[in-house]
Structure 1
Amino acid sequence: MSGPLGGAAAPRMIGNRYALLAELGRGSMGIVWRAQDNVIGRKVAVKELHLPEGVPPEERQVLQRRVLREARTAGALSDPGVVTVHDVVVEGGLTYIVMELVEAQNLDTLVRARGPMPPEHVVGIGLRVLSALHAAHMAGIVHRDVKPGNIMVGMDGQVKLTDFGIAQAVDDPGLTVNGAIVGSPAYLSPERVRGEPATPASDLWAFGATLAYAVEGVAPFQRTSTASTLHAIMNETPQLHRAQGSLAAAISGLLASDPRARLTATQAAALLGGSGTGPVAVSSAPPPQRQRSGRAKAPLVVAAVVAVLALLAAGFATGRVTAPEVAATGEQQVAAPVTELDVTAMTFGRQGQIPVWAMGEPGCGKEPLVEGVAFDWLQNVECTVPHQIERYAAETPFYDLASKGVDVPYPGEQWFRDYALHYCDLHARTLRVAQEGRDALTFTGLVPSEAEWNHRDGETVGAKEVLCVLARADGAPLTAPAAG
């Protein structure tokens, strides 16, 4: 195509500012262009959004407003792991998102071309993406479509997470309006499949599935159809073969079926070996070898059992697993005897080893745990004064079912003990211990006895939660909060 005088046609201009130079790619959501910002004089990427055909006018307006609102919000993020949104232009009935130009391939393309990535590379990429997600979540932004195709990996080690808040508005209209599902099916969390709102926890599930894809070379829940993919998410446990140690534990913790039991960004970063959620460059060199002690054996066990527990919870949700079967399954799936772990377990409540458990906030007690001795309200103290025990994690399995009036049968004391051992061990490994070294502490999981679980007196019902407490191994008091 030539111009009026026979020369090359002038580039198409957007917003009287951005010259579209070349097409970088296209998909169902539109076209991405390499462009020139003629005001500042820099290269940018321009995403030309095309809403799918057949969207009613009123829904089209809703989607357009959502794009504008969320793209502007994403533009406020300044984390180095985020593809920055510079501008939004609405022109000629189309919406254009002007973004930072990243010269990189996406993670999906890299894995398809080269196969599974070395675990140490996956860890480095993961830490950078966690930094971006942490920044977004702190700003109140939920990505909604974390997946390998939205993670850009440069040859220089640069890692960028793109498409913040945009995928919700431009996905298939049948999945983006009226509160229905948003996101790529293979990376939807179980709660999103159920139609619940997107949250930071659902982003972290998708991130866990993305890590699994990068290290294993296959998407953990991808099947031959959307229906079978969603069924896998709700009913199957991914098998990890190449991921080991803390990487396997992080993936399994991120893929916990219950979002309340899922690792946070900070906890996942701690397991992956980063300091907080700060950016970490991807290196081609293998990580330094660390001395391993007996305490380092458990992450593999944790990785297997957390995934098993997620499957068991799904079994209760679908009615496929009865309480006796859950107990038997738990015994079969635990990969190692409990003596290899650094956590003990005790029952609490009626007929339990701790006959009364009444720990309130902030979660510290002035007396140690002693079998047969009640922990009543008089034992509670502030964590800033000397104390013997300190709660560092708590979880209520099957809370979503109980809150809907489902009478969940007691899954068995051994099942509960196994759950507590691995849940508390996993969370113990993510603690940033402020005062004591982790080796100087002991960890105990407290689970309800069967009598406590089944107790009902009018509107009063027995406790259902699992609690994790720590103490000094030498029996001396903690003089400040141990879990920093």
Structure 2
Amino acid sequence: MTSRLAGDVVGGRYRLADELGSGGFGRVWRARDETLDVDVAIKELRLPPWIPETERAERLARATREARNAARLRRHDGIVAIHDVVIDDGLPWIVMELIDGCSLSEYVEEHGPLPAGRAVEVAESLLTSIGAAHREGVVHRDIKPANVMLAENGKVLLTDFGTAIHHTDSALTATGMFIGSAEYMAPERLRGGDDLPAGDLFSLGVTLYQAVEGVSPFRRATQEATLAAVLLDEAPAPRRTGPLTQLITRLLDKDPSRRPTVDEALAMAREQPATTVRVRRDTKILPARPEKRERSGAAALIVTMTAVAGMTALGVAGLPDAGGTWEHFERYGDDDVLGVALMIVAVADVVLTGLLCAGLARFLPTNAGRTVTAVAGVAGLVFGCGATAFAFHGAGETLRNMMELSGRDSATLSLALISIVVLVAAGAAWSSYRTDRREGIRGRTRS
């Protein structure tokens, strides 16, 4: 067996051009079909001279089986078509459709995770292809990003049926051989279970997870750790899966009987439900929705602002005689202490009311923009401080005059009234905060 180079002719008609990729069992070339004058992809089987005879025989059998199983699906638009199988130098060469594009693995490595919309298209295309294979009795057994082709024309194609098995195929069990990629393999396959269609759906779940998250959920530093992760670990909670969250979660169920069928998975991918769906472990996953501002604290703030507005009106009514407010405190014993206490309470209420006014900017529509929201917040703060200052300046004088007429201690009553207003405002603000916080928590994913 001689090593092939670019320019060699295989099977008397396929001239090798350049290498497109390689793996443990062979490599794929771009070639020119000199009979039909078209470009094709041609897969070369690799048989190093040092491998045992039993493994050599198994690789030959797998190459023949790959061509046969892929040929069963050649009419399906989402599967890379097999054109021919030729024997050259005693080895089979599989001639396939040439795809202008890249693999899903190459795309994620170069460009990062797929956008949500494109990921849904990939999921639908792959589920359709897998369903077609299963109806023909073929289980792929090696679905992974490297075996998904993204064509430049937008098509998504499933390729490499080298480890696929038809229900009529006999078992190939070379000693010591591990066929497939462990991190994408279903747990039941690792345990030596039957190669059922549900295994392909688990592999699809891992593939879609990597497509939208950018990382493989079960890849570890060693082969042993990877095997253990597939068997025992749950995939890390996804952050970018969006409308595919429910589907991927179901596909990654380690119990094959609890995974959806192909038809159920297709329905989940297409409908992208607008209601909460219950999945395993009673986890509720809400679909992605545009963020909305909570308005549950509006009533408390409106009540508080109404009270402040009433005080403002009362203050305006007392402004004509407001100039002498503070000098009247000399009538009482410890006027310095009383004046300082009243000032502290008034300043505290000014700040609190200003913040409440600024908080009203929360209730602007989300699309109002950050600049408008900021301006409204500053305006609210200034208005709140000014309104409260006028209120206390005028209201103090008015209440003093009223209390003098009744013979009561006006300063003490004013201080008490101010304290009550501060407490009411603080309570309203705290109630608003707690209500919005509870509503925010309800809007997130619950377990």
TM-score (norm 1): 0.53
Q: Report how far residue 17 of structure 1 moved.
A: 1.8
Amino acid at match of 1:22: D
Q: Report how far residue 243 of structure 1 moved.
A: 4.2
Percent same amino acid among aligned pairs? 42
Q: Which residue of 1 aligns with 2:184?
A: 187
CA distance in 2, matches of 1:88, 1:137: 23
| 1:35 and 2:35 correspond | no
Question: Contact 2:6 / 2:16 at 8 angstroms: preserved in 1?
Answer: no
Q: Report how far residue 37 of structure 1 moved.
A: 1.6
| 1:263 and 2:277 correspond | no
| 1:118 and 2:97 correspond | no
Give the gaps of 5 or more residues in structure 2: 166-171, 286-447
Q: Report how far residue 43 of structure 1 moved.
A: 1.1
SS in 2 for 1:88: strand
Q: Report how far residue 167 of structure 1 moved.
A: 7.0
Question: Contact 1:75 / 1:85 at 8 angstroms: preserved in 2?
Answer: yes
Q: Which residue of 1 aligns with 2:214?
A: 217
Amino acid at match of 1:98: V
Q: For the pair shown, which has the larger CA radius of gyration, 1 or 2?
A: 2
CA distance in 1, matches of 2:49, 2:216: 29
CA distance in 2, matches of 1:24, 1:247: 31
Q: Which residue of 1 aligns with 2:78?
A: 81
Larger mean Cα displacement after TM superposition, 182-191 or 16-25 = 16-25
SS in 2 for 1:157: coil
Structure 1 pair 10–268 and aligned structure 2 pair: CA distance change class (3 A)? closer
CA distance in 2, matches of 1:28, 1:165: 11
Q: Which residue of 1 aligns with 2:21?
A: 25
SS in 2 for 1:75: helix
CA distance in 2, matches of 1:291, 1:160: 26
Q: Which residue of 1 aligns with 2:57?
A: 61
CA distance in 2, matches of 1:65, 1:250: 36
SS in 1 for 2:217: coil
SS in 1 for 2:140: coil
Q: Report how far residue 40 of structure 1 moved.
A: 2.5
RMSD over aligned CA atoms reads 2.6
CA distance in 2, matches of 1:265, 1:179: 33
Amino acid at match of 1:198: D
Deviation per residue, 1:411-446 (Å, 9 max, x gap): xxxxxxxxxxxxxxxxxxxxxxxxxxxxxxxxxxxx
Q: Report how far residue 118 of structure 1 moved.
A: 1.4
Higher strand share: 1
Deviation per residue, 1:62-99 (Å, 9 max, x gap): 33123213312211211111011111122213321110
Give the gaps of 5 or more residues in structure 1: 1-8, 169-174, 275-289, 309-333, 338-484
Amino acid at match of 2:236: Q
Higher helix share: 2
Aligned residue runs from structure 1 range 285-434, under 5 A: 292=274, 296-298=275-277, 301-302=278-279, 306=280, 308=281, 334-335=282-283
Amino acid at match of 1:163: D
Q: Report how far residue 244 of structure 1 moved.
A: 4.8
Deviation per residue, 1:3-60 (Å, 9 max, x gap): xxxxxx9931111121112222233322211111222222100111103564321332
TM-score (norm 2): 0.57
Structure 1 pair 40–261 and aligned structure 2 pair: CA distance change class (3 A)? same
Structure 1 pair 336–273 and aligned structure 2 pair: CA distance change class (3 A)? closer
| 1:127 and 2:124 correspond | yes
| 1:247 and 2:226 correspond | no
CA distance in 2, matches of 1:188, 1:22: 31
CA distance in 2, matches of 1:177, 1:88: 24
Deviation per residue, 1:300-340 (Å, 9 max, x gap): x52xxx2x5xxxxxxxxxxxxxxxxxxxxxxxxx4459xxx
Structure 1 pair 32–66 and aligned structure 2 pair: CA distance change class (3 A)? closer
Q: Which residue of 1 aligns with 2:410?
A: none
CA distance in 2, matches of 1:74, 1:203: 16
SS in 2 for 1:71: helix
Amino acid at match of 2:19: E
| 1:72 and 2:51 correspond | no
Question: Contact 2:31 / 2:42 at 8 angstroms: preserved in 1?
Answer: yes
Question: Contact 1:146 / 1:187 at 8 angstroms: preserved in 2?
Answer: yes
Q: Report how far residue 245 of structure 1 moved.
A: 5.6
Question: Contact 2:66 / 2:164 at 8 angstroms: preserved in 1?
Answer: no
CA distance in 2, matches of 1:10, 1:140: 37
Question: Contact 2:116 / 2:243 at 8 angstroms: preserved in 1?
Answer: no
